[in-house]
Amino acid sequence: MPQDLFELTGRVAIVTGGSRGLGRAMALAFAEHGADVVIASRKLENCETVAEEVRALGRRALPVAYHAGSWTDADRLAETAYAEFERVDILVNNAGMSPLYASLEEVSEELFDKVIGVNLKGPFRLSSLIGTRMAAGEGGSIINVSSIASQRPSPTEAPYGAAKAGINSLTGSLAAAFGPKVRVNCIVPGPFLTDISKAWDLDEFTARAKNAFALGRGGEPHEIVGAALYLASDASSYTTGALINIDGLPR
């Protein structure tokens, strides 16, 4: 049956940045379709909150404090997940950051390195570790989360857009490296109304979105779920190296 293509029972997923926003929406969707979930994010207490939501759905959950820009934290997260579940079938590299800056010349080396570290270095290391184990075992799916800034960069997102463009490129590299047993794909979101949007001028954004996007609005977190389930499950068994824009079509 078509619905069986999206079944995830018996599988284990890691979702970085899984304690809020798009990460939380994906983690809960995976659990609703039968997966056990590792929720990894900076603040352990936030991970524990989502873990309780996963357990309420009848699935196992493991909250892990994780800094996406740390090479050693990637190693620790991988080891912790395999020690608990003995397998990982789905990895979602969702953790990211895009801090504001006053001007390009005022971007410090520390800020630049931090943005590249969280958005590119961490996903590279974690994917390398998990993907190698997946390829040596029963296979799996890696889902990177990029940004429309990787394709349509603005002046206020220069390091972030560059890092996410690196994620787009990395997706193709990893798909070639880990195939045929591991599929590696990338979701490219536009503006979503998550916790981050609380810092926006929402009245201004809403007014601008009516003309700036074909769908006339920002996305809601649950609207990322369809693409995530497709890429995580057997429904996408012949899809790898793909970039899937979920962005309301900027004009």
Q: Is 238 a catalytic residue?
A: no
- Which stretches within 102-196 are classed as H helix? 109-116, 122-136, 158-178
Length of the chain equals: 251
Question: Phi/psi at 55 (nearest 5 deg)?
Answer: -65, -35
**CA-wise closest residue to 127 among 160, 173, 194:** 173
DSSP string, 36-98: EEEEEES-HHHHHHHHHHHHHTT--EEEEE--TT-HHHHHHHHHHHHHHHS---EEEE-----
- Helix, strand and coil in the chain, % to nearest 5: 55, 15, 30
- Token pair for 199: 């810092």
Which among 101, 160, 230, 238 is annotated as catalytic?
160
**CA-wise closest residue to 218 among 234, 198, 241, 242:** 198
Active site residues: 160
